A and B are shown apart, each in its own frame.
Chain A
Amino acid sequence: KQEVTQIPAALSVPEGENLVLNCSFTDSAIYNLQWFRQDPGKGLTSLLLIQSSQREQTSGRLNASLDKSSGRSTLYIAASQPGDSATYLCAVNKREAAGNKLTFGGGTRVLVKP
């Protein structure tokens, strides 16, 4: 059974500092891994999707790496801004699934202080 863990559960940094969010999963037979952002009272916004064959994906200030063999992914957010404050969720997509049957981690709640 796939388990996804995100550490730390909460993180507070001053504006401008780089953010490093960690995600680990127990079963390396994944199809892809996604990072989401959730703002209070809002839905989940997909940030980055990494296919199992890829090692990283980048979008603007965001970079996500994937080490499937060790069951780890890291989301880096460069030069954090107060607008980056949100909960970040990692989710793995089970291999051979007919669709996106995601297993989520508990999330990391990020606060960027001005």
Chain B
Amino acid sequence: EAGVTQFPSHSVIEKGQTVTLRCDPISGHDNLYWYRRVMGKEIKFLLHFVKESKQDESGMPNNRFLAERTGGTYSTLKVQPAELEDSGVYFCASSPLAPSGANVLTFGAGSRLTVL
């Protein structure tokens, strides 16, 4: 089966610009997660979708970040306007709907964002 697909793989933008990252989860996976790793720090949770609904967005850093999952398939994460501290690698992961905690996440390769 196809894995979790993310694009772009790398985006370089100027401070103040807008960037949209996309994640295509494994077909049939209702759970979709966004995580990110900023330079020198651990990977941190951003938010969790169940189908098209945001289940938990407690990790979103501020209102410059907007995540959507229209139709419950692919998801986008928009950063507007981008700041220098937003640079890092943004990971998407998906899993089937199963008893909480029992399932294993499949991660994408990540989208590297560089804000200059």
Contact = CB atoms under 8 A, between A and B. Distances in A.
B48 A104 contact: no
A97 B104 contact: no
Interface string B40-51: 011111001010
Nearest to B49: A99
Interface residues of A, number: 27
A71 interface: no
B87 interface: no
Nearest to B55: A98
Given A31-B100, A49-B104, A103 B45 contact: yes
A104 B101 contact: no
Contact of A93 (B44, B91, B101): B101
Given A104-B42, A105-B42, A98 B48 contact: yes
Given A4-B42, A44-B91, A89-B43, A100 B108 contact: no
Contacts of B109: 41-43
Contacts of A12: none
Contacts, number: 77
Interface string A82-114: 000000010101000111111111110000000
B100 A98 contact: yes
Contacts of B102: 32, 51
Contact of A99 (B3, B35, B43, B100): B100
13 contacts: A32-B102, A36-B107, A43-B91, A43-B110, A49-B104, A98-B50, A100-B31, A100-B93, A101-B56, A102-B45, A104-B42, A106-B41, A107-B42
Interface of A: 4, 31-32, 34, 36, 41-46, 49, 51, 89, 91, 93, 97-107
